Amino acid sequence: MKLVILAVGKGRNSPEHALAASYIRRLPQGGEIVEVESKLMSGPKRQQDETNLLLRRVPDNAILVCLDPRGKDTSSELLASMIVGWRKESQKTVYFAIGGADGHDSIIYKRADLLISFGAAIWPHMLFRAMLAEQLYRANAILLGHPYHRSN
């Protein structure tokens, strides 16, 4: 099952983008970072445009997970168990959406299958991409019994 990070904004040559890409490349089933960028000025219309750009990338029957500070706080182990469930459902691809500076427009929540967070803190966008990519890699390491993940 392929894991795809859908992200607003361009990573360009930032160290955080390189870090996120390195974790995604290490996923055994494959992964990808798909970037979208609105050309509109900041504000509600831009937020709606970003959401529409994200949603256009998600096939109708695919799983869509939105990352949002108001979502369910999700541990590495819980993420791993979700991945197992999606595999059992024979999902081919799962999409993880990271909104722009103003977050997601409400329309994406109606389409989302799940709303999760990695705590209530607000993180810099590019750093959060790297954190999500690492958590996807860690979840796979848990499932493989790899020593990368050690919980005491």
Domain ranges, ordered by start, for the chain = 2-144
Cβ atoms within 10 Å, residue 13:
7
**What confidence score (pLDDT) does residue 66 get?**
97
The helix/strand/coil state of 87 is helix
pLDDT in tens, 75-85: 999 999 999 99
What architecture is domain 2-144?
3-Layer(aba) Sandwich (3.40)
**Beta-carbon-side half-sphere exposure of residue 65 (alpha carbons within 13 Å):** 22
pLDDT above 70: residue 152: no
Question: Can you read off the two tokens belonging to residue 31?
Answer: 């992964």
Q: Across all residues in the chain, what is the average pLDDT?
A: 93
Alpha-helical (H) ranges within the chain are: 15-25, 44-56, 76-88, 106-111, 125-144
Residue 120's pLDDT band, with cuts at 50, 70 and 90, is confident
